[in-house]
Structure 1
């Protein structure tokens, strides 16, 4: 029994001396519970919407005031024309638009009924359904207050139109998210582990003393995963088109070009992890836990980013998967061209260059 207690004491000493282990044991649960507490919610808040008030009468002003007072909406543009509204949907700057007809107040008073057009971006069907239900509830509350003072009940009928995904299928939102998640995990983890494996087995030193430059050695490790990842992209797109019935509405070559850029970003991130770690276990743990959770939480794939606190919204900007998810939705679902995604492309390119420079500066020619 005494020997058993000695071994337990030794293991405790080993664990307490290892800062990385302590960080995993105590730091990760705290971080996860804080992040999940803020990010995991089915409620959609602060959604950017636009209002086109063609009536500009007292009734429309009252209803607009109630919509703007709601915590669920953030009115970006109160007055805009249809062309501006279409561009705003394409750019992703608004999630929903409410259009009041020209004779809103007159039709409501004299015909006891009027129609309001509600247009939602259904490339994310869950958010679109939630937002339209919020608007409908606000309209019903407004009618309930108005009908208290009238003998004949008034009616406002929302005409709901879903853009890009009128049938509200889940696959158009699911496929881009899966592409970002799969490429991020496979590229980062496989690259990091394969390079660290060379360190552990001692073959990296042999490669470094060879006539090849270190940059070529590292690049040669990443090229196979670039090719295999492109095969993954092709297989996912084929399955989405022929099995899930999700067509590629935009340019396929542009989609592959953007996917190649994202893969290179992920490979560069894997190289950075391999430079900073010395064991396969640590590299795999960082690749899995460090990439899986941020990709799921902060890419906009599962949880709306605008629901999160400002600090987490700012943090999401450094997650490459967020920008790739936006790019794939724009090309594949909305059918847009490069003019709509050049900012996201520029950000991904900047992240890639930054990681590559840091990795090269941190790379040690001699391992010992």
Structure 2
């Protein structure tokens, strides 16, 4: 045990001497939280729009005020000409135009029906759909306030409730995904590069022929990155709570336990990559291919797995970050306990055991 402690301390010295490694280990989580929490969000805020109010009545003004009060829209100015609106769209100055026709309030009072024309720039389809949904929601909310005290025959009013994320914040999706990506990058890449570096320098063979057992060599490489990864988990949770106001609704101990399991899974992947790699460059490239792309594309973090073709849905089941993402989302956002995540946890345990057995066996064959 004393020898293990000495080698773990040596590994920590290697980590803290390299400033680039330190920047990757501790700067990467902060940078990604800032980017995905504030910049790369699915929410659209302060979209520039124009309003053409040909009616200029009390109802149109109230709706415009309601739109202007929303954090989603920023009314640039009121354009009265269709040619001006089209020119603004072509120049890219606006994302949407809202047009109130003449006699808007009169038509609403006399015929119980009035139209509002909403024109969106569909060259960016996702933005256009999102903004039209926002504006439809605002208009629908105003309509509900108008008819609150009016008894209408056969009136059907849907009552919509958004569970777990009533404000529809993008952080609820990005933070669990960021945790999975950061853990995979840090554990897999750093472990693979660290072991391959020893192989390149010829010191790994010296360690293996020493009285120090091969298993202890692997543990001495694992322990520093395991501790650093747990520190990263803590920093991510603190940043999310302080700056993004994302509370942890479930058990923190359960979240740390599952994170520890996923870290060990990632370390096993890093060990496996280090075995098949002959250089640090190939280890880094293999780590990126094995961690970043599957996490982005096949974990459900960026794209819904249900919308993918069946072969990709099947392949996604062998991506550990998919199961970790589901578990973290259930614990943090839904407040679920172990009873709701035991299947995903069992899958991760199975993956971890399988990867560790294969990695240890291959490690002994290659370097014994």
Which residue is 2:344 aligned to? 344
Deviations 1:45-78 (A, max 9, x none): xxxxxxxxxxxxxxxxxxxxxxxxxxxxxxxxxx
Scaled by the length of structure 1, the TM-score of the pair is 0.58
Which residue is 1:299 aligned to? 299
Which residue is 2:149 aligned to? none
Q: Residue 317 of structure 2: SS of its match in structure 1?
A: helix
1:41-60 correspondence runs (5 A): none
Deviations 1:292-351 (A, max 9, x none): 111001111110000001110010000000000001011000001000000011000000
Using the TM superposition, give the Cα deviation of residue 290 of structure 1 relative to its aligned residue in structure 2, in angstroms. 2.4
Q: Is the 8 A contact 2:208 2:367 kept in 1?
A: no
Which residue is 1:316 aligned to? 316
Closer, same or farther in 2 for the Cα pair 1:297/1:366, shift >3 Å? closer
Using the TM superposition, give the Cα deviation of residue 153 of structure 1 relative to its aligned residue in structure 2, in angstroms. 9.1
Closer, same or farther in 2 for the Cα pair 1:253/1:367, shift >3 Å? closer
Q: Residue 159 of structure 1: SS of its match in structure 2?
A: coil
Aligned residues: 226
Q: Residue 162 of structure 2: SS of its match in structure 1?
A: strand
Which residue is 1:233 aligned to? 233
- Greater strand fraction, Structure 1 or Structure 2: 1
**Partners in 2 of 1:196 and 1:353 — Cα distance?**
22
Question: Is 1:290 matched with 2:290?
Answer: yes
Instruction: State the 4+ residue runs in structure 1 displaced beyond 4 angstroms.
Output: 152-155, 365-368
Which residue is 1:251 aligned to? 251
Deviations 1:120-159 (A, max 9, x none): xxxxxx9xx98xx7xx9xxxxxxxxxxxxxxx99653322
Q: Residue 318 of structure 1: SS of its match in structure 2?
A: coil
Question: Is 1:167 matched with 2:132?
Answer: no
**Partners in 2 of 1:236 and 1:366 — Cα distance?**
37
Deviations 1:168-192 (A, max 9, x none): 1111111101000100111000000
**Partners in 2 of 1:238 and 1:157 — Cα distance?**
41
Closer, same or farther in 2 for the Cα pair 1:157/1:286, shift >3 Å? same
**Partners in 2 of 1:158 and 1:297 — Cα distance?**
35
Q: Is the 8 A contact 2:214 2:364 kept in 1?
A: no
Closer, same or farther in 2 for the Cα pair 1:366/1:354, shift >3 Å? closer
Q: Is the 8 A contact 2:275 2:366 kept in 1?
A: no
Which residue is 1:65 aligned to? none
**Partners in 2 of 1:355 and 1:185 — Cα distance?**
17
Q: Residue 160 of structure 2: SS of its match in structure 1?
A: strand
Closer, same or farther in 2 for the Cα pair 1:161/1:194, shift >3 Å? same
Question: Is 1:224 matched with 2:224?
Answer: yes
Larger Rg: 2
Q: Residue 169 of structure 1: SS of its match in structure 2?
A: coil
Using the TM superposition, give the Cα deviation of residue 242 of structure 1 relative to its aligned residue in structure 2, in angstroms. 1.2
**Partners in 2 of 1:218 and 1:276 — Cα distance?**
16
Which residue is 2:328 aligned to? 328
Which residue is 1:18 aligned to? none
**Partners in 1 of 2:249 and 2:242 — Cα distance?**
14
Scaled by the length of structure 2, the TM-score of the pair is 0.58
Q: Is the 8 A contact 1:306 1:313 kept in 2?
A: yes
Closer, same or farther in 2 for the Cα pair 1:350/1:366, shift >3 Å? closer
**Partners in 1 of 2:361 and 2:226 — Cα distance?**
23
Q: Is the 8 A contact 1:183 1:229 kept in 2?
A: yes
Q: Is the 8 A contact 1:188 1:266 kept in 2?
A: yes
Using the TM superposition, give the Cα deviation of residue 253 of structure 1 relative to its aligned residue in structure 2, in angstroms. 0.6
Structure 2 unaligned runs (5+)?
1-41, 43-125, 137-151
Q: Residue 211 of structure 1: SS of its match in structure 2?
A: coil
